[in-house]
Amino acid sequence: MGSKVIVGRYELLEKIGDGGMAVVYKAKDRLLNRAVAVKILKPEYTNDDKFINNFRKESHAAASLSHPNIVSIYDVGKEGNINYIVMELVEGMPLSRLIKQRAPLDYNTVIDYSKQIASGLAAAHKHGIVHRDVKPHNILVNEDGVCKIADFGIAKAISTTTIVDGTSETIMGSVHYFSPEQARGGYVDEKSDIYSLGIVMYEMLTGEVPFDADNPVSVALMHINEPITPPSKLVDGIPPGLEKIVMKATDKFQSNRFKSAEEMIEALDNIDLVSRVVGSSVFMGADKTQTIKPVQSEPYIYSEDQEEPERDTVPPAIAAAKKRRRRRVITALLIVAAVAAGLAIAAHSLGIIGQPDIEVPDFTGRTVEEAQEIAESKELDVDVVKYEESDEYKTGEVMDQDPPAGEKVKKNTTIKLTVSKGSDESVVPQVVGLSEKDAKKLLEESEYEVEVRVVTAPQTEGIVVNQSPGAGEKAKKGDTVTIDVSDGEGKEEGEVPNLIGLTESQAKNAITDAGFEVGNISEESSSDYKPGLVIDQEYPSGTELEKGKSIGFTISKEVESKTVQLYIDYADAQNDVFYLTVTVSDKNGTRNVISNAQRQKSDEGETIKIKGQGQGTITVVFDNDTVMRRNADFTTGELS
């Protein structure tokens, strides 16, 4: 394969990667004389028209992105049955390999990498593109430490750890990194990428993903139901502020996460600033015990006006001994005083003494984000320790706290929160696209009964093609969810494209690209469309139609025009010699067919022929006076 050249331009040199859907080669662009990476779709996907169309469409969308933290896409094309993407060649390694070799990473490195990844995501989100599969395997780190996000919008690798919607071919993400809403089959937006980035940060800090199990379905349920263990429980020396960023990014509820990637970058900038100002030792397990240096006492000296002890009453040896004892006592007292003062200062700074007690606010009924804001204003911390079902509190609201509201605590005390998962009515997960076995397992683990119906459908035999209730709807535990499983014998249907306003060649391409045949093409006069454009189609756009069927359409042709005859009577002229103007307004605009032409009243009148298009108006003016206005139909030649 090393000598293979694609489209006479890209010379494949060596294979550098092999994924679920494509193989990546290092190649040489002969035209621009530069090294590139060429991703070629695997043969097993080349016969899947819908997959190919999505592959091309999403590749073109990703090619619109230009950012230093996103792998650039140079070209997308096809030669024979080879579908390929030409990308920037990044000399380095995937973040997944770097984590495997070096994790846990230094927190400063984690901040640096996370800011770069968030910056790339922010650029994509501004273009309305959500990655949906942010993971270390899709992030490349070059030799200069620059992170670049790959597979934007085209990460559709099908593997045992990837869940895909088999109907729409919409990827839901890699199970260890995707968000709870992806696991539920819910609405996915920019905050879903932020969740996945939070999981990547967690793995960089600890060397582990927060959730792991024997099968992807179990991992998906853990994302939905299980709280994340704080990374500081696994690795020492993680800045509390950085841990808060990770925990906020990976909150179960989208509304509690960072509102945007830019907001997340701002939070990371603040942590970066603190580490530069106070140094890394504050976070990296520096010894917290301070040694208080003993106070050096000065020899006791009498002042000039102080009386000396009487020498005749106290023997010199005893006086000297007393003096030595007095010095030792004074020195000891000074040391004790210094130690006490140091301890008092430390206790005051830590809030142990000298600080007023803080009354714990009532967090119940509030969201976690609201609770965090209130706690910060009171110089307290909050930590979500568990999620429980509740009929009283909505999903995402605090339902219990420890210590309770009203209790007095010291500054920086952590209040433990229990958050509601809602009532026993839960959101039905997305199972369309899964195998019957995986769908039943997911639904049964969600405590639903399952009814299976086999239906005729074009999808692979054994794949779930429909479900009731649908994904995202609520149902009580114990309710029955009905799933329709394909027998693999149905014919595939497609959506009829909109042809109105297209040229004939464009309409033909749209029909064949959608998997249909071109049917009968007719012509019809139209005053609303230019000649050569489609004015009608056999099936309305959006109609689901069996692929391979023919679709006919109608092309506009030029409207035939006729000449109208108009007799102009000079009897209305005020002067014997006057000036005649005749104005026509029709589809082609307004124009004078006769302009200020001299006439004599004695000639009595004249007949003129006027040609136009569509419906129009003819106005006759003698000098400056309008003497006649007639409506004309140039398609029939009639006046009214």
Cβ atoms of residues 511 and 504 within 8 Å: no
CATH of domain 92-281: 1.10.510.10
Q: Which CATH number fits domain 425-486: 3.40.50.740, 3.30.10.20, 1.20.1250.20, 3.40.50.10310?
A: 3.30.10.20
C-alpha span between 389 and 494 (Å, rounded): 42
Catalytic residue among 106, 133, 536, 576: 133
Contacts for 333-341 with beta carbons within 8 Å, 24 or more apart?
334/295, 334/297, 335/294, 335/295, 337/295, 338/292, 338/294, 338/295, 339/292
Nearest of 138, 110, 417, 368 to residue 235 by alpha carbon: 110
pLDDT at 439: 93
Residues 251-269: tens digit of each pLDDT: 999 989 999 999 999 999 9
Beta bridge partners of 581: 621
Q: What is the DSSP string of 163-194?
A: EE-TTT--EEEETTT--HHHHHT----HHHHH
CATH of domain 493-557: 3.30.10.20
Residues 6+ apart with CB under 8 A from 472: 184, 185, 186, 187, 427, 428, 430
List of the chain residues with pLDDT < 50 = 1-2, 153-172, 279-319, 321-322, 339, 346-347, 349-352
Largest CA distance in the chain: 165
Q: How confident is the prediction for the chain on average, in pLDDT?
A: 83
Strands (E), 262-373: 358-359
Residues 131-146: tens digit of each pLDDT: 888 999 999 999 999 9
In this structure, the dihedral spanned by the alpha carbons of residues 43, 44, 49 and 53, taken in order and rounded to 10 degrees, is -60
pLDDT at 33: 93
Domain positions in the chain are 1-89, 92-281, 321-355, 358-420, 425-486, 493-557, 563-639
Does the domain formed by 358-420 have CATH 3.30.10.20?
A: yes
Residue in the structure block whose two tokens are 């970058």: 265
Number of other CB atoms surrounding residue 422 within 10 Å: 18
Strand order in the sheet with 577-586: 589-600, 577-586, 615-622, 625-633, 638-639
Q: Which two tokens stand for residue 326?
A: 């007095």
Q: Which two tokens stand for residue 382?
A: 């909050």
pLDDT at 327: 62
pLDDT at 475: 87
Query: Would you identify the CATH topology of the domain 563-639?
Result: Immunoglobulin-like (2.60.40)
pTM above 0.75, yes or no: no
Query: Would you identify the CATH topology of the domain 1-89?
Result: Phosphorylase Kinase; domain 1 (3.30.200)
Cβ atoms of residues 566 and 528 within 8 Å: no
Is 272 tagged catalytic? no
Cβ atoms of residues 442 and 429 within 8 Å: yes
pLDDT at 356: 66
Same fold, 358-420 and 425-486: yes
Kind plus residue range of the DSSP H or E element containing 372: helix 368-377
